[in-house]
A and B are shown apart, each in its own frame.
Chain A
Amino acid sequence: MFNYYLRLALRSLRRNVVLTALTIAAIGVGIGASMTMVTIFRAEASDPIPQESAQLYTPQIDNYGPGENDSGLAEPDGRERFQDQLAYVDAMGLMNAHAAERQAAMFPADLAVTPADPRLLPFLVQARATFADFFPMFAVPFRYGAAWSTADDTAHADVVVITRRLNDKVFGGVNSVGRTLHLDDHDYRVIGVLDRWEPIPRFYDLNQPYGLSEDVFVPLTRAIEDHMTISGHQDCPDDSPPLTGYDGQLQSECVWLQFWVELPTAASVAKYRAFLNDYAAEQRRSGRFHWPPRTRLRNMSEWLDYHHVVENDVKMLVLVSFSFLLVCLLNAMGLMLAKIMGRTADINVRRALGASRTAVFIQCLIEAGVIGLAGGLVGLALTSLGLRGLVLLFSGDAGRLAHLDLAEVGCAVALGVIAAMAAGLYPTWRATQVQPAWQLKTQ
């Protein structure tokens, strides 16, 4: 009977094209609006590296002291927020302690690439200075070669890992491992080429959560030796003396490094937490900190929450868009009611010929489902348009979020069907309540 009902539904859609089109449009517009926002929300709220995130943590150490946090904001539990990057002194202190399974301090830098091909003009790239553990800790995929080793970190090796994008641009996409890349005033040996790797959001440095990943990765030890320019966000305490040169920058209390550790077990997390407190206590004992230890250790999801990666505006827009969907569905319900009530005569005839209320209910519900399917497809097209619109509006970072994956396609279509069937419940119920005898008496 399902096929029969399906055929009847398709026939019914053709019967009143205008009403059908309006109903599909109402559902489609609602789904388009809500799915556009859901897509953005999901992209912002999604886990950027699902396989690894459970064991990734980032530490915070308050090297400013209480009351120095100028934002005045508190954490949800009422504790004062403090700086979420580390000073070079602390980053190196944690690195040298080797208290975690894997660990990497890092900072962004801008570098000028001078291609060996004289036809190509020099251009600027964003680089990330970090440690060898960055790559295995974040499960970064390689197309050619591999990451540098901890020995390279120690030796301040002049090696780089580059992205596939830069490899295509400078080396024409061939395996460039072993080739030389001229960055600023130094030559670096390409040791690895990444495969596609664009975590969204870029969790390891949320100063630019939706920026493209860097094109060059260089050992941090080498970057410091070469005095690479720090291009990321930097914050200094109010009472800090003016920075004098690169060494002054390194010795200052200014915070500009990100730091991530891999802690695979609950025990290792507890141990690292204790280590952080011990480290801060040691800084107090040495006279650097004048306050009790204030440290935090956050996992990935806590870190994203802490940074409000999912903006409140987006959450609000999701709510608004679903309210709009509700309004659209109410309109669709009215249109479906009009459509079904217009077919009362046919429904009565079917009842007289042996259709039970249940049979009529199923028939009308399948019709609503077909309308919903069409509405879902229209909604999908509108979602795609909406996301393209977002790309145009936010051509940079936010535009990167604007893509539909298979799950969202399925979600839009399923939402259309379910929403239309929900909206069709009342008209369908009304259809089953009409007494077939009235048809005979009013003819």
Chain B
Amino acid sequence: MLKMTHLSKAYRTEVVETYALRDFSIHVREGEFVAVTGPSGSGKTTFLTIAGLLEEFSGGEYQLDGANVRGLNDNQRSRLRNEKIGFVFQAFNLISDLNVQDNVDVPLRYRGFNAAERRRRIQQSLERVGLSARARHYPAELSGGQQQRVAIARALAGSPRLLLADEPTGNLDTQMARGVMDLIEELHRDGATIVMVTHDPELAVRAQREVHIVDGQVVDLMAAPRLVAGAETQS
């Protein structure tokens, strides 16, 4: 599903070149739930933005669902991102002046679905996260946990092959975080491929596999897979 080989990302100024990722290789298979961990500044988010086609990389190869993404133009990258990837952000990133259903509608609009199909998908994904009764509410009228559920519904509405989550519980209290994690695990059990960036070891252990990044490199790629059920008992 996601395969990066010897990938690098450098930020250059006139005097200095800094590598956010260096000789970075990772392979996430279809249906896997992978946690990406590491200290602050290790390159976790850079990995996620490159994986999500939001940023270009300097060297190496990246294949998404079998397609080489190097050299794609903005329109091609945007289409690929829209069709194959769902994002869940730490700060939810809902559009404040759109109500819940209009927020979920955003990626579907760019996908070009007709009105009936969009309505069906919005209804389906809101039911999935248990918020169909709140379709007309605005983000400010929802709790943090509910907002993150809306963000997940938005990410799921286009039936993406890959769900990228960046600290999805980072802005939530313990109880809400637990609810969101339960939902993510449920999505995984239903077959979704999930890559979750987190610095929280307690969340990381709920993934099947943990990839640890330090200074832009994978240091623990061979970590043993863990069962989701085992992770549930630890949380």
Contacts and interface: CB of A to CB of B under 8 A. Distances in A.
Given A11-B97, A349-B93, A440-B48, A359 B110 contact: yes
Contacts of A356: 74-75, 78-79, 110
Interface in A335-375: 345-346, 348-359
A353 B154 contact: yes
A352 B79 contact: no
A443 B93 contact: yes
B81 A352 contact: yes
A42 B145 CA distance: 63
Contact of B82 (A346, A353, A440): A353
Nearest to A432: B74
B189 interface: no
Contacts, number: 75
Contacts of A357: 74-75, 78
Contacts of A437: 49, 54-55
Interface string B81-106: 11100010111011101100000001
Contacts of B109: 1, 4
B55 A355 contact: no
A359 B78 contact: yes
Contacts of B136: none
A441 interface: yes
A353 B81 CA distance: 7
A437 B50 CA distance: 9
B35 to A, nearest CB: 17
A356 B98 CA distance: 20
A355 B87 CA distance: 13
B40 to A, nearest CB: 12
A359 B110 CA distance: 8
Chain A at the B interface: SS class: helix
B176 to A, nearest CB: 18
A358 B73 CA distance: 12
Contact of A352 (B52, B83, B94): B52
A353 B87 contact: yes
Contact of B45 (A352, A358, A441): A441
A349 B110 contact: no
Contacts of B46: 441
A354 B154 CA distance: 12
B78 A355 contact: yes
B166 interface: yes
Contacts of B111: 354
Contacts of A359: 78, 110
A295 interface: no
A345 B91 CA distance: 11
A211 interface: no
Given A349-B95, A437-B55, A440-B48, 5 more contacts: A354-B78, A358-B75, A440-B54, A440-B89, A441-B46
9 contacts: A1-B109, A14-B97, A349-B95, A352-B93, A353-B154, A357-B74, A435-B54, A436-B54, A439-B93
Interface of B: 45-46, 48-49, 52, 54-55, 74-75, 78-79, 81-83, 87, 89-91, 93-95, 97-98, 106-107, 109-111, 154, 158, 166
